[in-house]
């Protein structure tokens, strides 16, 4: 069973998300993943990398977010590493879905959905860096 790996450095600018998603989509097609799984992996990436870009930095300097997507057998792994402020998405409170939509506070729903799409999510702070690792079982055509 061979391991396939895509590694990218993404600048902390919103426009980088489109480049990331295009590369992941292309690579996942090459690996034979089914379309639903490709969409779900990109949703997870969009949510977590967008949050790093929007909320992770207190300065206007250029930063890079390391993204690694790998496939081993039928398990895709996403690793996101950044030098932003410490943030553990596993500690984010779930949104109150019982409230009417107009009464819900803004924020939190994307993390909730992305976590639900992944089979496992692990966070750690390592050498002043956030490291988020997610796995998802996928179907291969």
The CATH number linked to 24 is 3.30.565.10
Statement: residue 106 has pLDDT above 80:
no
**Residue of 13, 96, 27 lying closest to 60 (CA atoms):** 13
Statement: residue 115 has pLDDT above 70:
yes
Where in the sequence is the domain holding 52, given as residue range(s)? 3-137
At residue 136, the pLDDT reads 97
Statement: residue 69 has pLDDT above 90:
yes
Statement: residue 18 has pLDDT above 90:
yes
* Secondary structure E strands in the chain: 3-11, 64-72, 75-82, 120-126, 129-137
At residue 3, the pLDDT reads 94
Strand partners for 120: 135
Average pLDDT of the chain to the nearest whole number: 91
Average pLDDT over residues 88-104: 72
Average pLDDT over residues 3-9: 97
Statement: residue 95 has pLDDT above 90:
no
How many independent structural domains does the chain possess?
1
Residues whose CB falls within 8 Å of the CB of residue 18, separated by 6 or more in sequence, listed in order: none
Average pLDDT over residues 26-41: 97
């Amino acid at each position: 069973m061979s391991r396939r790996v895509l590694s990218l450095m993404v600048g902390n600018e919103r426009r980088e998300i489109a480049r990331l998603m295009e590369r992941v989509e292309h690579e996942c097609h090459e690996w034979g993943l089914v379309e639903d799984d490709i969409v779900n992996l990109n949703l997870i990436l969009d949510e977590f990398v967008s949050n790093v870009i929007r909320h992770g930095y207190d300065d206007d300097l250029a930063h890079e977010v390391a993204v690694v997507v790998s496939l081993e057998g039928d398990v895709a792994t996403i690793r996101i590493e950044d030098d932003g402020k410490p943030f553990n998405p596993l500690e984010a409170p779930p949104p109150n879905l019982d409230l009417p939509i107009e009464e819900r506070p803004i924020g939190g729903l994307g993390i909730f959905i992305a976590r639900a799409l992944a089979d496992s999510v692990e966070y750690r702070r390592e050498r002043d860096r956030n490291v988020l690792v997610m796995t998802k079982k996928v179907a291969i055509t």
